[in-house]
Structure 1
Amino acid sequence: MSQGLKMFLSRYGFDVEPEMLNEQIVATAGALFRCDAVFKNYLEYLANASWRFENVSGIKCEHWGALKLATAQKVVCFPEEDDFHEVLSEDELIKLKEEAPKYKDLVSKPHCIRTYEEISKAHQVRAEKRRLLGSLVKEAKAACEKG
């Protein structure tokens, strides 16, 4: 097992010994890695969004995750939509919808929707793969203990 894979799995809270590795664990870790790459790809764009929210609307969002920032961006681009309650509080949603006209010339709608879709999908896949990896590691550990 490479040090990179060991460190990656450890970062997700999995202590995997080399004898526990199998194709499923490696493939699932690879899927998680690709999800992380999506988040990294949009890091600068979302950092700029965070800065804009604070400077345009006074919204402090330095502790918001990528999904929440991408969702907030989508709200200011498409305030007429109403499927954001799982990520944003009612107060945040109201504030962003009221402030949406201020962002008209500051945010690209095509880039916003692409970012939201990719971040949202990566968030969902990451959650699924993290659960799967947990069960795969548990199975592999049990198999190694049986010997």
Structure 2
Amino acid sequence: MLRGGVAPVEPAAVFHPTSDRDIAQLIRAAYQQGFPAVSARGHGHSINGQANTAGGVVIEMSRLAEGHADGVRIAEEMRYVDAWGGELWIDVLRACLEHGLAPRSWTDYLYLSVGGTLSNAGISGQAFNHGPQISNVHELDVVTGSLN
């Protein structure tokens, strides 16, 4: 039943990883067991509910960001940021400002996850000047079930 235009779905489980290796192990196990779906959820903002999966496993990425010992890391001399996908853009901006820096392009609403906006290109009001967020990414770590 639709409630306010939202179709409620329930996952079979919610996974709270402590590392990227935990995520890789889950993906591998889900593939080997023929589990229906695994989805990543940063802070719950998603298009058509892709942050949830009916009968599958939801990976709660924001929990990992909260427990991530290093948080947002700034390489001031090289002028780049290293952040976990579940990190909020507001936290990235705050960390940058402590070093007199700012992201070249960020989302108009800063309480979204880095991974979530990058998965949708990160188009915002600054995109006309510096391109979408994804155009300003030097490197991404992609977690697969290979455990490498």
Q: Report the TM-score range of the alignment, normalised by the length of the smaller protein.
A: under 0.3
Q: TM-score, normalised by structure 2?
A: 0.27
Point out which structure has higher relative CO (alpha carbons under 8 A, 6+ apart): 1
Larger radius of gyration: 1
Q: TM-score, normalised by structure 1?
A: 0.27
Structure with greater proportional helix content: 1
